[in-house]
Chain A
Amino acid sequence: MEDKTKEIEALQTLKKELEDTLSVVQELEGARRFFYNTGTICIEMNKEEIIELVKTEIEEIENMIKELETK
């Protein structure tokens, strides 16, 4: 039970970080080119692509949280 709570808390922290990053991306009006670090290489993306990517990651985390909560 304690492990599950900790896991949910960690996911919520990650979700908050991603939401913060998303708002920074949306606020940067002048930026056209973005780069996503995959761990080995950086992929060039435009603003729409990067917003989509972050939103997808947030959704995935939300699903993981829901899954853990219903377990």
Chain B
Amino acid sequence: MAKRKTKDTPKVSLEELNRELRGYIAQIEALRTEIAAIDTAIADLRAVIKTINNIKDLGKGKNILIPIGAIAQIEAKIEEPDKVVVSIGNGISAELSVEEALAQIAKEIATLQALRRALEEAIVEAYAKTEELLEKTKALGAEEGK
């Protein structure tokens, strides 16, 4: 009876290790998805910076096309190229000067980049843990095979 118990113990541990390993792999995948979403958000913000500068260069009175959803756009005239309305969260937007708007966007990008770095660090940690668990799994597997 005691002999059977010792033979079962590594099997249970191996299952536990595999479960833990799958958990870390899922965590890495989730972190990667989050990083991809952050990259998209940063790219969008960079595109906004470009657009603001372009509008400023175009100046007052120029005709532009504004997207109104899906595939539609309407023609509009630039009235105030020095002012930009920026969303600051919770349904609130503020009318800012071009300089202030660009500073606000730069701040937003910096926050996202800091978050990205934290997520990358978490991935490195999860990878290290995965490697460690793989080693343990291999060792246990070999022990079990004896």
Contact = CB atoms under 8 A, between A and B. Distances in A.
User: Does B associate with A?
Assistant: yes
Interface of A: 17-18, 20-21, 24-25, 28, 30-39, 42, 50, 54, 57
Contact of A24 (B88, B91, B95, B97): B88
Interface of B: 85, 88-97, 100, 104
A31 B104 CA distance: 12
A39 B90 CA distance: 11
A35 B96 CA distance: 12
B91 A25 contact: no
Of A17, A30, A31, A50, most B-chain CB atoms within 10 Å: A31
Contacts of A38: 91
Contacts of A42: 93
Contacts of A33: 94-95
